[in-house]
Amino acid sequence: MSYEITKGLLPGLDNYVYMDVEQHRYFDRDQREYESVSKFISRFVKPFDVEKMAPLSAKKRGVSVQTILKEWDLKKNNAIDHGNRIHDALERFDKTTTITPENDDLRPTILAVAGVYKSYYRRVSEALIYDTEHFIAGTTDKIMQCTSHPNSVIDLDDYKTNLSKGIEYKSKYNEYMLGPLSHLQNCSYNKYALQLSIYAYLYQKKTGCKIGMLNIMFIPPEDHLSFRRIPVPYMKHEVEAMLEYKMVVDAPKAVAIPSGFGATTQDDFDEDFINVKKHNKKLDNSVLHFPVNSNTSSMVDDDDF
C-alpha cells in the first residue's frame, strides 16, 4: 500500500504516520502506536523525583508543598504557551508568509529567523519523521535540502525557547544519563543533540541521504532578536546504541523482565539490559508474543526539549 507524498515535500516524508494533536501521540494508518522521540530519550534520564524534591523545596522556602507544586505547574504551562506561540508563528510564516495581528510584536524576529533559511534549495517545517522497525516518530521544526542535486546534503534545525535556564551545557548536579548514554551529562544541550540526531538518523535510514548540520535555533525569551543557531554533533553511534537497547527491552518474546524495566540508576539499567538479553536467549524458540510495557515515569512532550 502506498501513501501520499505531499507535493513540495522532501523524499521520505509522507502521511503514513500522523500525530493525534490532542493526545500528542503518534499512530500509523494501521492504528499502531509509535513512541515519540522525546519519550524515547526520557528512558535514558533519571526521572525527576517530585515526591522527594517538592517537600525539600517547600521547607527551604517556608511554604506548603501544594504551593510549590502549583508554582511548578504554572511555570511549566507558561513555558509551553510561550514556546507554542513562537513555534506556531514561525511555522505559519514559513508556510504562508503571513503574520497574524496578535503576533505582530514578533514580526522582526519572524522575518529575521526566516532569513536564515533563505539560501536553502528546499525546506519543510514541522516534518514528521518515523521508523516502522523501531516504532519511533517525532516532528522536527525544520528539515532543509541544501542544493537541487538529488543526493543533496540534508540539514535539520529545531527551535528552542527555554524561558528560565536557556541552553545548559553541563549538569548542575553532575548527573549523567543512563545506559549507553552514561558518558553524557544530563543537560539540555545533550538531550537536544540526541533529539536532532534521532531525527537525522531516522531520515537518513529512510532515504540514504547524507547528513550535514544539526542546529538548535535558540530564541531567548528576554530578547528574541538575539537568537542564535547553535550547532550540535550528529550522535549517530549513540542513537544506534539506544535503538539496540529498545529492541532488546521491547522484544515481544521478553514476556517477563527479571528485574523489570524502569531503571533509575546506571547499575539498575545495566542489570535490566543483561537480564533481558539472557531471558530472550532462553526464549529464542518461544512462540510467546506478549508485548512489554516499557513506559517510564518520566514523560515529556517534544516541545519540552
Structural domain boundaries of the chain? 17-47+120-304
Write b or e for each residue in 45-60: b if 16 or more Cβ atoms lie within 10 A of its Cβ, otherwise e: bbeeeeeeebeebbee
Angstrom distance (rounded) from CA 143 to CA 137: 15
C-beta of residue 89 within 8 angstroms of C-beta of residue 99: yes
Per-residue model confidence (pLDDT) at position 267: 66
Quote the pLDDT of residue 89.
Answer: 96
pTM for this one? Answer: 0.81
Cell of 148: 537541487
| Alpha carbons 222 and 162: distance in angstroms, whole number | 10
The pLDDT score that the predictor gives to residue 203 is 97
Q: What is the pLDDT of residue 154?
A: 97
Ramachandran region of residue 10, left (φ > 0), alpha (ψ -120 to 50) or beta?
Answer: beta
User: Which DSSP category does 185 fall into?
Assistant: B
Q: What is the pLDDT of residue 25?
A: 95
Q: Going by C-beta distance under 8 Å and a sequence separation of 6 or more, which residues neighbour residue 14?
A: 3, 4, 5, 6
Q: Is the dihedral of CA 93, 230, 200, 244 positive or negative?
A: negative
Give residue 271's pLDDT. Answer: 64
pLDDT string in tens for the chain (305-residue length)? 444 444 457 888 999 999 998 888 999 999 999 999 999 999 999 988 888 889 989 999 999 999 999 998 998 888 888 989 999 999 999 999 999 999 999 999 999 999 999 999 999 999 999 999 999 999 999 999 999 998 999 999 999 998 878 899 999 889 999 999 999 999 999 999 999 999 999 999 999 999 999 999 999 998 999 999 999 999 999 999 999 999 998 876 433 444 444 566 666 666 666 665 555 554 443 333 223 333 333 333 333 44
| Euclidean distance between the first and the last CA atom of the chain, given in angstroms as a whole number | 34
d(CA 77, CA 96): 28
Residue 259's pLDDT is 41
pLDDT of residue 218: 97
CA distance 234 to 252: 30
| Dist CA 249 CA 281 (whole Å) | 13
Bridge partners (DSSP) listed for residue 231: 215
* pLDDT of the residue at 275: 63
Question: Which residues 6+ apart lie within 8 Å of 229 measured at CB?
Answer: 116, 157, 215, 216, 217, 218
